[in-house]
Amino acid sequence: MKRILILSLCLLMAATAALAGPKGSDKYATEVMFPIEYYTGGNRAMFEGFEAGVPPPGWTLFQTNINETWHSNDYNPYEGLYSATCLYDAGYTGPQDEWLYVDYMIEAGDECLSFYAFASTYWAIDPYQNYNLWVTIDDVVMWDYYNDNNGAVTWQWQQYMIDITGYSVGQTITLGLGYTGYDGAQGSFDAIDIGECPPPPPEPCCPSEYVCYVVDFNYDYGGAMPVVCGIGPIPWQWGAPIGIPATACDGVPVTDVWGTNLTGDYPVQTGEGLVIGPFDINVLCDCMELCHFYDIETGYDGGNVKVSIDGGVTWTLVYPFGGYDDILDSTSFIAECVAGEEVFTGHMTVFQRDCFDLTDYHGQSIMIGFFFGSDSSVTYPGWYLKWVKIGSDEYSPVEDATWGSIKAMYR
């Protein structure tokens, strides 16, 4: 059977084996991985969760490395008790070209091959690129982690989909799961599923046709108040920023923002919330739009949005359509204020619009908090808030708006 070989990496990557960075460079999964809601097709013609071992019954293992190949792993699988995992060959006996194969006959209604995978972006993508995970059908590459990871971060389970509607009912295909490279890191697969494609994700609720509230930080500080929740220096500042994109959502120029540092990088070991409100939520006013930009150390620092219905005594995390980027689950580098929570994290190039469904708060007055935290090392510019709008697609009069905020509604 034809195999994908990446033997050219052998000598090139051996020289870099001892140059691991301080964060994200672990070669084995050592922390709790970010769970993603699991979808199983309604017509689940095939499902493999590796609960019966690796290789599972009916599958074939193709092993080239004498030390490390695919095996059953009970450490934090995506679902069930086990996943299929390949570790890197720490003895450096040679390259790894390790495969699991299974034959499958296409049935009526088979539309998608779905699977979950995770790896180390540090070793698989940047800066080393010395191993890869693959999915093939009949030896044709359908997916690989380096090119098709959809922005995954280290040790995060993520779901991927492959359209298989081009195969005929009754046709037998050979599915391959591969690990190739030299001096790489851990890689895993779980929840292999063939069946119907999942329904499309819900459409974001914003931008709203009608707006109840506008808080545009171009015009003033929006009445925002800090809430200290960490031990470090205060990060939030309002004013004219330096070094971030000059235009925000919808092409609106940026003059002033709330940001975690207006003239440089945010400080280490800091944590603080920025609170605005109150806002009355009802059926005519229940979708929040946040226009923001962030350039934050991926997976270790971050920010999120919370809601309080008791004047800021307690806070509940609210989720944007599409979810946050990651969970700050490091046990070695603790981010003040947001440790263990889902957050916006990573590096953007432009301002983006995120939408939050507030229908759970109908009939209540809420405060909205933007909570940010960083750990003890490595910083970037930070998190910048341009505006907050709350509205709906139902008619609602503008309440307590300034002239500046009214103008912002019609941009």
Q: Which of 195, 219, 242 is the last residue of a domain?
A: 195
Q: Is a pLDDT exceeding 60 seen at residue 31? A: no
- Residue 2 within a domain: no
pTM of the model: 0.65
- Residue 397 within a domain: yes
CA–CA distance, 256 with 402 (Å, rounded to integer): 16
- Residue 203 within a domain: no
* Strands of 145-219, DSSP E: 158-163, 172-181, 187-195, 210-216
**pLDDT tens digits for range 69-104:** 999 999 889 999 999 999 999 999 999 999 999 999
Cα of 283 vs its chain's centroid, Å: 30
pLDDT confidence bin for 155, thresholds 50/70/90? confident
Select the more confidently predicted residue: 404 or 219.
Answer: 219
Kindly state whether residues 114 and 30 are assigned to the same domain: yes
- What is the reported pLDDT for 198? 76
Select the more confidently predicted residue: 222 or 7.
Answer: 222
Q: Is a pLDDT exceeding 70 seen at residue 6? A: no
Kindly state whether residues 190 and 214 are assigned to the same domain: no
Q: Which of 195, 224, 256 is the last residue of a domain?
A: 195
- Residue 84 within a domain: yes
**pLDDT tens digits for range 213-241:** 999 999 999 999 988 887 778 899 999 99
Kindly state whether residues 269 and 391 are assigned to the same domain: yes
Select the more confidently predicted residue: 18 or 317.
Answer: 317
pLDDT confidence bin for 45, thresholds 50/70/90? low
- What is the reported pLDDT for 403? 41
State which amino acid sits at residue 7: L
User: Is there a contact between 238 and 219 (Cβ–Cβ < 8 Å)?
Assistant: no
Lowest mean pLDDT: which of 28-37, 148-157, 194-203? 28-37
Kindly state whether residues 160 and 13 are assigned to the same domain: yes
- Residue 204 within a domain: no
Kindly state whether residues 102 and 232 are assigned to the same domain: no
Mean pLDDT of 157-169: 94
Domain coverage including residue 399: 210-409
C-alpha dihedral, 64 to 65 to 71 to 73, nearest 10°: -150
Could you please report the per-residue DSSP string of 358-380? -GGGTTEEEEEEEEEE--SS---
- What is the reported pLDDT for 30? 61
Kindly state whether residues 260 and 377 are assigned to the same domain: yes
Roughly how many angstroms between the first and final C-alpha of the chain, as a whole number? Answer: 59
Kindly state whether residues 365 and 270 are assigned to the same domain: yes
The CATH number covering residue 188 comes to: 2.60.120.260
Count of other CB atoms within 10 angstroms of residue 174: 15
Kindly state whether residues 241 and 387 are assigned to the same domain: yes
The CATH number covering residue 306 comes to: 2.60.120.200
pLDDT confidence bin for 24, thresholds 50/70/90? low
**Average pLDDT along the chain:** 87
Kindly state whether residues 54 and 100 are assigned to the same domain: yes
Kindly state whether residues 184 and 255 are assigned to the same domain: no
Kindly state whether residues 270 and 327 are assigned to the same domain: yes
- Residue 202 within a domain: no
- Residue 225 within a domain: yes
- Residue 391 within a domain: yes
Mean pLDDT of 153-163: 88
- What is the reported pLDDT for 395? 65
Mean pLDDT of 353-359: 97
- What is the reported pLDDT for 177? 98
Q: Which of 152, 167, 195 is the last residue of a domain?
A: 195
Cis peptide before 278 (omega within 30 of 0): yes
Q: How many domains does the chain have?
A: 2
CB crowding 261-284: b at 16 or more within 10 Å, else e: bbeebbebbbbbbbbbbbbbbbeb
Mean pLDDT of 25-33: 68
- Extract the tokens encoding 172: 């037998």
Q: Is a pLDDT exceeding 90 seen at residue 192? A: yes
